[in-house]
Amino acid sequence: MTPKEKYYRAYMEFFETAERKRRWNLFEDVPWDKVSSVANTEARAIRIETYCAEEMFLPDYTAAGNELLRGVFGLAWFQNAWSYEESRHGLVFREYLIRSGLRTQAQFDRLEADVFSRSWKFPFPTRRQMSCYGALQESATYLAYRAQKDRAELEHDPTLEAVFFLVSRDEAAHAGFYREMIAIEMAEDRVGTLADLAHVLANFKMPGDGLIPNYQENLRLGGGGISPRLFFTRAVLPLLKQLGTSRDELKGATAAVVPLRAA
Q: Which domain holds residue 7?
A: 3-16+38-262
Reported as a pLDDT band with limits 50, 70 and 90, residue 7 is very high
User: Which CATH number fits the domain that encloses residue 205?
Assistant: 1.10.620.20
* pLDDT at residue number 258: 56
Q: What's the predicted TM-score (pTM) here?
A: 0.95
CA pair distance 208, 114, nearest whole angstrom: 13
Instruction: Give the number of domains in the chain.
Output: 1
Report whether 195 contacts 72 (CB < 8 A). Answer: no
Q: Is residue 23 part of a domain?
A: no
* pLDDT at residue number 223: 81
Q: Is residue 144 part of a domain?
A: yes
The answer to whether residue 263 scores a pLDDT higher than 50 is no
Reported as a pLDDT band with limits 50, 70 and 90, residue 40 is confident
Q: Is residue 218 part of a domain?
A: yes
CA pair distance 175, 135, nearest whole angstrom: 5
pLDDT digits over 122-164, tens only? 999 999 999 999 999 999 999 999 999 999 999 899 999 999 9
